[in-house]
């Protein structure tokens, strides 16, 4: 089969499409013909050697896929050949086929096509763990979402709306305003040299945002601490902006706020029961058409460099997927 191989660490340009032996099927494994694979910012960091999980070289990147079941191991009873499924893993998704443990495979929501299936798991599980498990977001609270039209950002806007929060979104360009509104934002701020603090204060009658969802870091994090409400929760989701910020303890004390780390995958690994509850809730919402990933582009495997560049250049509204 063909797969994207990372043999050296660096920019996405180090990746190559190569032939790779078909994987052996474990007793509880599911062999999946990959129809789509989601591009996520952690994939780019992993290829660069800058992610917390550092697989041995060579490896096949790819956190999430969707496709059809080809074959199952003798101990797997939950799936059968032909099932439309989604799967999540730490590596291995950018390929024509992969083998995944049955516990990491889920039936795809009925309304989804394969691209949406491959764009669902990472973004929405991150948003759910952040907003529900870590922030305890409640109805009528104000949620500020940064990077609001990226994969994890748009999922947070959409889920925030479903949870009954008032959502304020920040975006990098005016062309991204409309998608954020469609996803559920009540207010959208186009970032410029004037920042966003004053507008957030205006939209919240001077109180600030109760929960701030930050996958960007850098100066976005710094300014977020200046417009967070008393007792607010600042969610550290990632550092797409490049700089890992420092949190000034004096400002945290004055605001009476919390700075909260979010690792959705680790949450599920450490607490499998609640991790499964998270997914079941998200799947129910998706099957009821209350959550629906937005697909920015579908590209073939050999265009993986171009696909990743769309993310790093902040051109994406929603998700980019590779289509073997």
Residue range 48-63, pLDDT digits in tens: 998 888 999 999 999 9
Predicted confidence at residue 193, as pLDDT, reads 83
Predicted confidence at residue 302, as pLDDT, reads 95
SS (H, E, C) 284-311: HHHHCCCCCCCEEEEEEHHHHHHHHHHH
Span 27-37, mean pLDDT?
97
Residue range 313-323, pLDDT digits in tens: 888 999 999 99
Paired tokens of 43: 């994939």
> How far is it, in rounded angstroms, from Cα 117 to Cα 69?
14
Predicted confidence at residue 201, as pLDDT, reads 97
The dotted CATH code for 2-120+294-323 is 3.90.180.10
Paired tokens of 107: 């039936």
For residues 35 and 67, the answer to whether their CB atoms sit within 8 Å is yes
Residue 8 in this model has a pLDDT that exceeds 90? yes
Predicted confidence at residue 242, as pLDDT, reads 81
Predicted confidence at residue 314, as pLDDT, reads 84
Residues 6+ positions from 197 with CB-CB distance below 8 Å: 223, 226, 227
Highest mean pLDDT among 32-36, 149-153, 262-266: 32-36
Predicted confidence at residue 315, as pLDDT, reads 87
Domain ranges of the chain: 2-120+294-323, 123-265
Do 2-120+294-323 and 123-265 have matching folds? no
> How far is it, in rounded angstroms, from Cα 242 to Cα 234?
18
Residues 6+ positions from 196 with CB-CB distance below 8 Å: 170, 189, 223, 227
The share of the chain scoring above pLDDT 70, in percent, equals: 100
pLDDT class of 203 with cuts at 50, 70, 90:
very high
Q: Tokens 């979010």 — which residue?
A: 262
Q: Pick one of 3.40.50.300, 3.40.50.720, 3.40.50.880, 3.10.20.30 as the CATH number of 123-265.
A: 3.40.50.720
């Amino acid at each position: 089969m063909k797969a994207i191989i990372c043999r050296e660490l660096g920019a996405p340009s180090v990746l190559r499409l190569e032939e790779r032996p078909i994987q052996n099927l474990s007793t509880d494994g599911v062999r999946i013909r990959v129809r789509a694979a989601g591009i996520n910012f952690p994939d780019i960091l992993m290829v660069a050697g800058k992610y917390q999980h550092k697989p041995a070289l060579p490896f096949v990147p790819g956190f999430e896929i969707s496709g059809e079941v080809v074959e199952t191991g003798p101990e797997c009873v939950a799936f059968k050949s032909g099932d439309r499924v989604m799967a999540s893993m730490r590596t291995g998704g950018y390929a024509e086929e992969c083998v995944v443990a049955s516990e990491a495979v889920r039936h795809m929501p009925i309304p989804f096509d394969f691209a949406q299936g491959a764009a669902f798991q990472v973004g929405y599980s991150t948003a759910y763990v952040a907003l529900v498990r870590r922030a305890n977001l409640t109805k009528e609270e104000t949620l500020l979402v940064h990077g609001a039209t990226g994969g994890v950002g748009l999922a947070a806007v959409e889920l925030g709306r479903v949870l009954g929060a008032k959502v304020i979104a920040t975006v990098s360009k005016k062309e991204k305003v409309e998608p954020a509104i469609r996803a559920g934002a009540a207010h959208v701020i186009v970032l410029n040299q004037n920042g966003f603090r004053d507008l957030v204060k205006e939209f919240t009658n001077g109180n600030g945002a109760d929960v701030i969802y930050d996958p960007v870091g850098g100066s976005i994090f710094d300014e977020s601490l200046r417009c967070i409400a008393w007792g607010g929760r600042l969610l550290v989701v990632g550092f797409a902006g490049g700089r890992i910020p420092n949190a000034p303890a004096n400002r945290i004390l004055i605001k009476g706020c919390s700075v909260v780390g979010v690792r959705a995958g680790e949450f599920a690994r450490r607490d499998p029961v609640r991790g499964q509850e998270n997914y079941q809730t998200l799947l129910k919402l998706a099957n009821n058409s209350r959550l629906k990933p937005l697909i920015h582009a579908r590209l073939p495997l050999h265009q993986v460099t171009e696909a990743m560049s769309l993310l790093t250049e902040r051109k994406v509204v929603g998700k980019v997927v590779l289509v073997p």
